[in-house]
């Protein structure tokens, strides 16, 4: 039985797809077949990892210029031609228009990505310290209340009467 890969090789699909003449006949390996190793292609494979491209950032002036140019378009296909020329997407225009409606130049200025920097305010630090201290005191209070409940239950079981705060004050 002939596999799909063998049928493609016999049909000469590599030549039709524009593969280099040195690779014609070799085909692309199917599942279970081995891939070309470093020695098979005549040169070692490149182990270097390609760096990610940098994110494009557009200035507010550029955004406004493109929006003015697009707003001035009247014929069909002019907006698409501008987008292709500039390498932009229609979503860019949508976002830039929303930003322009919100607040013109300031909203169009690119913002920094990631977490916002925290202010170095002494009140914020003191507030955080007090919150931690309050949480620790609440844990201690809960623990003390649990211990008092245990003492009450033990005294009831053993029949030992406990003096309340009112009894101690009147007995002296």
Give the pLDDT confidence score for residue 139 in this predicted structure: 96
Check pLDDT > 90 for residue 24. no
Provide CB contacts within 8 A for 69, sequence distance 6+: 82
- Condensed to tens digits (0 to 9), the pLDDT of residues 62-112 reads 888 999 899 998 888 999 999 999 999 999 999 888 888 877 666 666 667
Let me know if 128 is exposed, middle or buried by CB neighbors in 10 A (0-12, 13-18, 19+): exposed
* Residue 130 clears pLDDT 90, i.e. is over it: yes
Residue 55's pLDDT is: 78
Can you give the pTM of this predicted structure?
0.37
| 161-172 pLDDT, tens digit each | 877 766 655 554
């Amino acid at each position: 039985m002939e596999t799909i890969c063998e049928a493609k090789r016999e049909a000469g699909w590599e030549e039709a797809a524009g593969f280099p003449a040195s690779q014609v006949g070799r085909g692309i390996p199917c599942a279970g077949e081995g891939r070309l190793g470093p020695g098979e292609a005549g040169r070692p494979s490149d182990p270097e990892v390609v760096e990610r491209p940098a994110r494009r950032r557009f200035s507010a002036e550029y955004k406004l210029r493109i929006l003015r140019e697009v707003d001035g378009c009247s014929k069909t296909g002019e907006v698409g031609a501008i987008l292709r020329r500039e390498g932009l997407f229609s979503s860019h225009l949508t976002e830039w228009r929303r930003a322009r409606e919100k607040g013109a130049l300031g909203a169009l200025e690119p913002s920094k990505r990631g977490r916002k920097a925290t202010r170095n305010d002494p009140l914020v630090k003191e507030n955080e310290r007090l919150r931690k201290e309050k949480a620790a005191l609440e844990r201690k209070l809960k623990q003390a209340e649990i211990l008092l409940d245990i003492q009450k239950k033990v005294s009831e079981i053993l029949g030992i009467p406990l003096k309340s705060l009112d009894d101690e004050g009147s007995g002296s």
